[in-house]
Structure 1
Amino acid sequence: MTVSLFDQFMSPTYLGIPLLALALTLPWVLYPSPSARWLNNRLLTLQGWFINRFTQQILTPLSLGGHKWALILTSLMIFLITLNILGLLPYTFTPTTQLSLNLGLAVPLWLATVLIGMRNQPTAALGHLLPEGTPTPLIPVLIIIETISLFIRPLALGVRLTANLTAGHLLMQLTSTAAFVLLSMMPTVAILTTILLFLLTLLEVAVAMIQAYVFVLLLSLYLQENV
């Protein structure tokens, strides 16, 4: 029986119980909790430095009203990075390759930014639907286009994360399969393919971190428009 390349993206189950919940819970166990000591160990110091730098980077363009989102944006960033990188390990499952999960993260957060804009500054929020100086005959068309682009934002967030991780995993599986098949027939080509697979793995680690950062960065930009 031929195994489909997309079987690796199916949500695994054990005794009929989906293991997706376990995969979503595991990242929180891997990070140490801050201690009450004056001097922390190297891991806690590095973790605190990363969180401080990332929070400063994300919140710099935002007004004071958007700083309330610091905790949720930083937690989401660490959560996505951990899920993406853990999914590169052998015999693991990457929850962020599921479009349903990514949309479940993107839609509520995007909707929260829109509702905040409608509550705090409804005139400015609705003004984004019609650029200033638009000719009168184009007003209905532009309003429809801007409304569609507004509702496409969460879909684009989820699809971007899903497509990048899915494509990377498929490419890694194809390259590794080629290396195994060529090992007995053309060992030299198999070695070159293995080197390519190693470089591709490094690229995927970078993609896993970058896509998590892009996801949170775009959310912060949507928030910036509405606070």
Structure 2
Amino acid sequence: MMTNLFSIFDPSTYIFNLSINWLSVFIGLLIIPNYFWISTNRILLLYNNITLGLHKEFKMLIGNNTHGLTFFFISLFIFIIFNNFMGLFPYIFTGTSHLSLTLTLALPLWLSFMMFGWLNHTQHMFMHLVPQGTPAVLMPFMVCIETISNVIRPGTLAVRLTANMIAGHLLLTLLGNTGNTMPSILLSVLIITQLALLTLEAAVAVIQSYVFAVLSTLYSSEVN
């Protein structure tokens, strides 16, 4: 039962020993660029408003000395939210439900922030290990706690996104598999429940993309 349940997350489509399911990650390359070559429409205006809003918010979090860094996090947000929404369609592989993708996004970000901070702002990074006002007796413990919290940051970023995407998909699959054995009177209740869960998953896709981008922005702001 559990093997069949989790098989929906298994990239098992292979051609010449290449996992074809991972090509769903690149579907956005075929769709998003078209918006830059057509006349202004509501979708493009919505995209521009979202980009401008995120730019203002990320700039406030990072500071005025951004040097275009906000657009990097906006691109990260768009990439994650697109893959999250693609996973809501039937028979499309959800790349963000795998740690191999989320860790690939989170680990290089964290490593680059840490290397930049320790190489260029060493004293500032040491100051972050001991919060202001900490008693001298607790300083060694605070250093250990802050160090551990810094080390697990890429893992928490990756696991948070993966777990939230997996949980909703599993719940939808479990309820969908009960439709064959359910009386016809209760099918309408099942359909309404599935639609409500699908709406919730759409909201989770947006929220988790936003959380991933905002936390990455906050981590980058700490090393400046």
Any runs of at least 4 consecutive aligned residues in structure 1 with deviations exceeding 3 A, and if so which?
Answer: none
Q: Which residue of 2 aligns with 1:153?
A: 153
Which one-letter code corresponds to 2:31 in the other structure? L
CA contact (8 A) 2:179 2:190 kept: yes
Match of 2:215 among 207, 215, 218: 218
**Could you report, residue by residue, the CA deviation over 1:66-101 in whole angstroms, capped at 9, with x for unpaired residues?**
343122111111111110001010111100010121
Q: Percent identity?
A: 37
| Structure-2 separation of matches of 1:165 and 1:34 | 30
Q: Which residue of 2 aligns with 1:68?
A: 68
Which one-letter code corresponds to 2:52 in the other structure? N
Matched, 1:85 2:82: no
Q: Which residue of 1 aligns with 2:139?
A: 139
Provide the TM-score with structure 2 as the length reference.
Answer: 0.91
Deviation at 1:137, TM superposition (A): 2.6
Q: 1:195 to 1:64 in 2, by over 3 A?
A: same
Matched, 1:203 2:200: yes
CA contact (8 A) 1:178 1:190 kept: no
Which one-letter code corresponds to 1:207 in the other structure? V
Alignment gaps of 5+ in structure 2: none
Q: Which residue of 1 aligns with 2:23?
A: 22
CA contact (8 A) 1:180 1:190 kept: no
CA contact (8 A) 1:157 1:215 kept: yes
Q: Which residue of 1 aligns with 2:52?
A: 52
Match of 1:192 among 189, 193, 196: 189
Matched, 1:167 2:167: yes
Which one-letter code corresponds to 2:206 in the other structure? M
CA contact (8 A) 2:13 2:19 kept: yes
Aligned length: 222
Provide the TM-score with structure 1 as the length reference.
Answer: 0.90
Structure 2 counterpart SS, 1:66: coil
Alignment gaps of 5+ in structure 1: none
